[in-house]
Amino acid sequence: MIRLPPQLIRLTVGVSSLFLLGSLVASGQSPRRIVTADQINGVYKFERNDFRVLALGHKKLKVQFNGEWMTRGGYPNIGEAIGEATIDGNVATFIPGDTTKCKITMTFLHNKMIVEQEGMDADCGFGHNVMARGTYRRVKAGRPKWIPIPK
């Protein structure tokens, strides 16, 4: 039996862990972790957009998106959505309203949320150039106040 020095063992374990993490990232997968309601409830902002998120239990979230894109003339194009998302670990999936070509994926990290959007602005029912994607910072923790969306 060959005995390895402890430093070499730690180095080997560290390199193996980095290789595994690198493999997950390269394959498009990210390690998922469990998050609590206290860690995700609140208001998140990115540029002129915000998300309001509330954990409902049973792997469900109430989600509201309010987006805005300013035209060259200074007039806003808006996009709004409210509904339920499902969450698995720290990754939630939100499909706005009756859309079929739009999927918003929200990955919750410490006091921030990374949002990816599949589908274009119109596919999601948003105004021209309004997109949900971005890295949002949590600006208020706790139960969010919902903004009424006109019907």
pLDDT digits (tens, 9 = 90+) for 49-107: 999 999 999 999 999 999 999 999 999 999 999 999 999 999 999 999 889 999 999 99
Residue 124, domain member (yes or no): yes
Residue 32 to residues 65, 68, 82: CA-CA distances in angstroms? 23, 30, 25
Tokens of 2: 């060959």
The confidence score (pLDDT) of residue 149 equals 78
Q: What is the pLDDT of residue 31?
A: 63
Mean pLDDT, rounded, of the chain:
86
Query: pLDDT-derived band of residue 25, with 50, 70 and 90 as boundaries?
Result: very low
CA dihedral 131, 43, 144, 82 (to 10 degrees): 10
User: Do 43 and 95 reside in the same domain of the chain?
Assistant: yes
Same domain, 17 and 43: no
Range of the domain at 52: 37-141
Amino acid 33: pLDDT: 86
Could you give the C-alpha distances from 22 to 15, 16, 28, 62, in angstroms and in order? 10, 10, 10, 33
Residue 65 sits in the same domain as residue 102: yes
Residue 118 pLDDT level (bands cut at 50, 70, 90): very high
